[in-house]
């Protein structure tokens, strides 16, 4: 079988490094065209020497890297060049933040399949991205574990009654609002089930991550918000489920490991043994708990539903305001609960643009970030 040619944008991040672990295990299945990283040049160089991609893209052009036989590219132009290279069968977009959006669109225009780990791409521009993907016959394969679960459960999308997204509930699930207000950065970063980057871990503590995932699911599966439910499931064994019109519920289960959804996305529609370390055992797990999310303690979920239903630039506002607030929390400027207040205030005052273009989206994003920083001051 011919090797699948892949590029990884964001290879030094949490998803990127785990993707390389999957690829190392399945090395006879993949050829790496390009790796890209932001500021961790040391790790990126190490990865390049080990995996021998044709291209390496470095976020910061001040840092020069020379490795024999590898062409070094820089910044967003470098990402563009990678995403225009039709040698690629698939590109894993695992960069964090808004820098994922333009390269994803570029890859779609070049009819390259996408494994998408970057939520912002769909939260900011889901309408444009999905329309373009459809027009170019490009599959967007979700890497997010919940959306991967849904993708794995779906046989016929027209017969689905609802999507049921599970949420672990994060470290404050059974803590009080006061506990959240007094939480240190360390407590907010202590996620009970998943090891992830800092921003997404804080989002998991506030459940904003779930909010963003609702919007992501809406776009990926073209599902109205009324048909997307969230249920808290602390063990993170059921990764999400769908209910068919006849009442049948199909769920995808597995031990909490990002290797599985990453591998599913980059090897789809094939399945391989890969990094599977342990066989799944229902009796060892013994019990699975589910509960309704506390919408009052975690206002992020309804904020996301509302922003999503309004649509247009509202979700751009949600994403940018929340991210700036999370950064301020990580910098010790505000408490965890103020992330909600600030985001809410920004949403309240946002002047909606119904169908923003990509350029407008970036402008709005910029504007919201500046205003959010002012508000935080
Ligand atoms: Mg997720």
- Can you read off the two tokens belonging to residue 251? 């769920």
3-class SS at 32? strand
- Can you read off the two tokens belonging to residue 295? 């919408």
Q: State pLDDT tens for residues 141-200.
A: 999 999 999 999 998 889 999 999 999 999 999 999 999 999 999 888 987 776 777 888
Is 315 a domain residue? no
Shared domain check, 198 and 136: no
Shared domain check, 229 and 190: yes
3-class SS at 211? helix
Shared domain check, 184 and 120: no
Is 330 a domain residue? no
Q: State pLDDT tens for residues 191-248.
A: 777 677 788 899 999 999 999 999 999 999 999 999 999 999 999 999 999 999 999 9
User: Residue 61 has what pLDDT?
Assistant: 73
Shared domain check, 134 and 168: no
Domain boundary among 90, 118, 142: 142
CA of 69 to the centre of ligand 1 (A): 37
CA of 144 to the centre of ligand 1 (A): 5
Shared domain check, 295 and 225: yes
Is 281 a domain residue? yes
CA of 117 to the centre of ligand 1 (A): 9
CA geometry: angle at 191 spanning 186 and 195, to 5°?
A: 105
CA of 204 to the centre of ligand 1 (A): 9
> Mind giving me the DSSP string for 277-311?
-S---HHHH-----B---TTT-THHHHHHHHHHH-
Shared domain check, 137 and 154: no
Structural domain for 27, as ranges: 4-142
Shared domain check, 266 and 169: yes
Shared domain check, 103 and 172: no
Shared domain check, 273 and 167: yes
Domain boundary among 310, 328, 346: 310
CA of 61 to the centre of ligand 1 (A): 32
CA of 145 to the centre of ligand 1 (A): 5
Domain boundary among 86, 108, 142: 142
CB 212 within 8 A of CB 119: yes
Ranges in the chain, pLDDT < 70:
194
From residue 24, give the alpha-carbon distance in Å to each of 5, 11, 129, 149, 275: 14, 13, 30, 24, 9
CA of 1 to the centre of ligand 1 (A): 32
CA of 146 to the centre of ligand 1 (A): 5
Domain count, the chain: 2
């Amino acid at each position: 079988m011919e090797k699948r040619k892949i590029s990884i944008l964001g290879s030094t991040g949490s998803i990127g490094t785990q993707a390389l672990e999957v690829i190392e295990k399945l090395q006879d299945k993949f050829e790496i065209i390009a790796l890209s990283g932001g500021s961790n040049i040391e790790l990126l160089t190490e990865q390049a020497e080990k995996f021998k991609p044709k291209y390496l893209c470095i976020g910061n052009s001040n840092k020069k890297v020379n490795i024999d036989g590898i062409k070094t590219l820089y910044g967003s132009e470098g990402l563009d060049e990678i995403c225009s290279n039709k040698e690629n069968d698939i590109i894993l977009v695992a960069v964090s933040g808004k820098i994922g959006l333009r390269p994803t669109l570029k890859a779609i225009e070049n009819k390259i399949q996408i494994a998408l780990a970057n939520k912002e791409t769909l939260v900011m521009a889901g309408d444009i991205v999905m329309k373009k993907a459809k027009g170019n016959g490009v599959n967007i394969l979700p890497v997010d574990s919940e959306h991967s679960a849904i993708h794995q459960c779906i046989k016929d999308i027209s017969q689905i009654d609802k999507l049921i997204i599970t949420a672990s509930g994060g470290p404050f699930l059974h803590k009080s609002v006061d506990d959240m207000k007094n939480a240190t950065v360390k407590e907010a970063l202590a996620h009970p089930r998943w090891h992830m980057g800092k921003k997404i871990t804080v989002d998991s503590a506030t459940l904003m991550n779930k909010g963003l995932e609702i919007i992501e699911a809406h776009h990926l599966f073209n599902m109205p918000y009324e048909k997307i439910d969230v249920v808290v499931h602390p063990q993170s064994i059921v990764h999400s489920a769908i209910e068919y019109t006849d009442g049948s519920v199909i769920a995808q289960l597995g031990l909490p490991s990002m290797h599985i959804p990453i591998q599913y996305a980059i090897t789809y529609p094939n399945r391989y043994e890969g990094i599977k370390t342990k066989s799944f055992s229902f009796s060892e797990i013994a019990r699975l708990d589910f509960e309704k999310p506390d919408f009052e303690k975690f206002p992020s979920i309804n904020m996301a539903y509302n922003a999503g239903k309004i649509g247009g630039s509202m979700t751009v506002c949600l994403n940018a305001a929340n991210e700036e607030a999370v950064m301020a929390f990580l910098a010790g400027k505000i408490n965890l609960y103020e992330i909600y207040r600030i985001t809410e205030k920004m949403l309240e005052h946002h002047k909606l643009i119904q169908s923003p273009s990509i350029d407008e989206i970036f402008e709005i994003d910029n504007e919201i970030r500046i205003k959010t920083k002012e508000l935080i001051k």
